[in-house]
Amino acid sequence: MRYSDLYQNALNRLDSPELAADVLLLIQKSFNLTAVQYWIQKNETILDTSGIRKFYRYLNRLIRHESPAHIFKEKEFYSRPFYVNKNVLVPRPETELLVEAASSLLPKPGKILDIGAGSGVISITLALETGSTVIALEKSPKALYVLKKNIRRHNIRNLVFPTKGDLFPITSEGRFDLVISNPPYLAEDEWDSLPPNVKNYDPREALVAGATGLELIEEIITRAPGFLAPGGCVLLEIGYTQKPALEKILKRNLYSDIRFVNDYSGIPRVAVACWSQR
């Protein structure tokens, strides 16, 4: 059997052309190949029988809707690898827009509060990209374990400080230039409609906020001014229908410079709003 046969047989079993990239990743991991090596060797006969067995074990998990990130406990974010497991949300490409928006607001290193830090992709990436100090706040002990593991992996303990807490620090951490979060923003009735690869493997508490989906977002917006330095900003990843409601909440709480960043499909995905003392 050739590598290309293995690839095509897997796609036929999945009957999902959109999973082609995932199948290629399974092959690379099974046979310890780079992407370039696969394309060079794709028409060669496979001699590694243990690699074939490993590939089919991985494929069976993919068929059960388990993502490669969960299979291999790793996900790339901002071109860096991060450890993930079932206790943290696997980072999505949209969250990179949140990091880009935050970086653009920091002409020099600042102080950042990351609420619900999870695996730490936002905290660690911002520290590495901007040189800022980040308080990475996380209430789940199991998620904190993942966060600390990634901090060690990226050797960023001098800038990212994992802190146990819910929404805002209990002890005084001073004022922040940015308060940033990818909070739970799904409504309760949206949970059942999620695809199996999300619903069966990502933690529910990292996705569902409450009856409307705006519960935690509204609390962050309301309380953030007490933690922001003058001119500081709040940045939030939001649901695809939440822009109108969010604009009202931000204006009601007297934020200024309110803007939204669209994803690559033109959907508002990031809310940015700044706070000036009045």
Q: What confidence tens digit (pLDDT) does each residue in 56-95 have?
A: 999 999 999 999 999 999 999 999 999 999 999 999 999 9
What would the two tokens of residue 72 be? 């291999």
Residue 278 above 60 pLDDT?
Answer: no
Instruction: Give the domain-ending residue among 42, 64, 86.
Output: 64
Residue 204 above 80 pLDDT?
Answer: yes
Same domain as 115, residue 46: no
* Separation between Cα atoms, residue 263 and residue 271, nearest integer Å: 12
Same domain as 98, residue 10: no
Query: Which domain, by its residues, includes 13?
Result: 3-64
In the three-class reduction of DSSP (H, G, I as helix; E, B as strand; rest coil), residue 240 is classed as coil
Same domain as 78, residue 60: no
Residue 69 inside a domain? The answer is no
**pLDDT tens across 117-154, in order?**
999 999 999 999 999 999 999 999 999 999 999 999 99
Same domain as 49, residue 79: no
Residue 82 inside a domain? The answer is yes
When pLDDT is averaged across residues 162-191 and rounded to a whole number, the result is: 88
Residue 202 CB burial class (10 angstroms; 0-12, 13-18, ≥19): buried
| CB of 145 closer than 8 Å to CB of 118 | no
Same domain as 221, residue 186: yes
- Percent pLDDT > 70 in the chain is 99
N- to C-terminal Cα separation, the chain: 71
Same domain as 171, residue 57: no
For residue 170, what pLDDT is reported? 76
Instruction: Give the domain-ending residue among 40, 64, 88.
Output: 64
Distances (CA, A) of 182 to 59, 90, 161, 239: 31, 12, 18, 10
Give pTM, 2 decimals. Answer: 0.92
* Separation between Cα atoms, residue 149 and residue 88, nearest integer Å: 12
**pLDDT tens across 20-59, in order?**
999 999 999 999 999 999 999 999 999 999 999 999 999 9
Split at pLDDT 50, 70, 90, the class of 172 is low
Same domain as 106, residue 83: yes
Instruction: Give the domain-ending residue among 30, 64, 98.
Output: 64
Q: What value does the mean pLDDT of the chain take?
A: 93
- CATH number of the CATH domain containing 258: 3.40.50.150
- Structurally, the chain folds into a number of domains equal to 2
Same domain as 79, residue 13: no
Residue 39 inside a domain? The answer is yes
Same domain as 52, residue 18: yes
Same domain as 122, residue 180: yes
Residue 151 inside a domain? The answer is yes
For residue 277, what pLDDT is reported? 59
For residue 193, what pLDDT is reported? 87
For residue 169, what pLDDT is reported? 84
Residue 184 inside a domain? The answer is yes
What would the two tokens of residue 161 be? 């400080």
Same domain as 91, residue 17: no
Same domain as 37, residue 84: no
Distances (CA, A) of 70 to 59, 166, 200, 216, 218: 13, 26, 11, 26, 31
For residue 16, what pLDDT is reported? 78
